[in-house]
Structure 1
């Protein structure tokens, strides 16, 4: 069970400090938004490259941008451990995944709440992670969409049957009261923004969320 704090909820004026305050995390989730694929605008390639240099954990980049066919591999070249592109934005998702792997990064595909899970199933042989959005992408702090759990159940069954090493990530509304639901449905990698960054002790919250996920998966 992997916990990935999202710096979307961090203080961008004190970003390195806020990254180091979640040093117990497994990976760090970095949202790149272009103001076109989603209505929000965050940060881009130069900032991500610098984050990769200073962060004490691997960087998990989530591209919520148009034309990932052009841009995705550049984030791998900048040092990202994992790069997620949206199925809905890619012209050739299979080729994007192959280029990411060739560049030495883990390739990941994301699907929005309205996208059928079959789109991700078709790419399981090409990716290292599938991200299921449990909010509409673009802004942090949204309410968790429990109706997406059937996607995790379907993906978990397919991954287990194939024997592939494919992580199943969730992003959107993850906190103490929702993480167990996803863990029981088959998720194993959890993005949490406000739940961690609004906590008094951020590393303690990382550990608490991981413990809740592990217990839910065992039950």
Structure 2
């Protein structure tokens, strides 16, 4: 997470980034989050918004309702370091978002394993961010394949 994400939009666009995802908490307000998302879209990038565990799903709904957001990323750990335990109670946020936005990309990040990927996908996540489970696996390719299969089968 960066503070003042708006100041980075131009540089990322110039670097050729195709998606810029920012934390709602770093935006400071709904109005600023909307301005950031508008700027991201105006620069030809997809816009994503991140929700930390302690932040209510209600805080991002007005921004998603604007039609400017392509991806909602629900953090399933407190951001900071790898290897944390998956917070299954965050799946309520995923379920709420999926029910309200059937075509939105809903991504989860944190504590993802083969088993927790199934939980996230069944809740409605259709994209995952996995680090430790892959990089510490004896067979990373097999882990990726199983996670991908779970998302494809369960998030329909």
Tell me which stretches of 4 or more aligned residues in structure 1 moved more than 6 Å: none
Matches within 5 A, 1:184-203: 184-203=122-141
Match of 2:101 among 159, 184, 203: 159
Question: What is the deviation of 1:119?
Answer: 1.4
Q: Which residue of structure 1 lines up, in the alignment, with residue 17 of structure 2?
A: 80
- Please, which moves more after superposition, 142-151 or 75-84? 75-84
Whichever structure has more helix as a proportion of its residues is: 2
Alpha-carbon contact 2:25-2:51 (below 8 Å) kept: yes
CA contact (8 A) 1:170 1:182 kept: yes
Counterpart in the other structure of 1:173? 111
**Structure 1 contact 140–172 (Cα < 8 Å) conserved:** yes
> Structure 1: how far apart are the matches of 2:108 and 2:124?
10
**Equivalent residue pairs, number:** 151
Aligned counterpart, 1:215: 153
Q: Any gaps of 5 or more consecutive residues in structure 1?
A: 1-63
- 1:190 deviates by 0.3
TM-score scaled by length of structure 1: 0.65
User: Is 1:107 matched up with 2:47?
Assistant: yes
The corresponding residue for 1:136 is 78
Cα drift, residue 69 of structure 1 = 1.5
Query: Quick one: distance in 2 between partners of 1:200 and 1:77?
Result: 38
Supply the RMSD in Å over aligned alpha carbons: 1.5
Q: Greater shift after overlay, 206-215 or 88-97?
A: 206-215
- Higher RCO structure (Cα 8 Å, ≥6 apart): 1
1:117 matched to which residue of 2?
57
Q: Deviation digits for residues 19-70 of structure 1, max 9, x if unmatched?
A: xxxxxxxxxxxxxxxxxxxxxxxxxxxxxxxxxxxxxxxxxxxxx0111011
The gaps in structure 2 that reach 5 residues or longer are: none
TM-score, normalised to structure 2, is 0.90
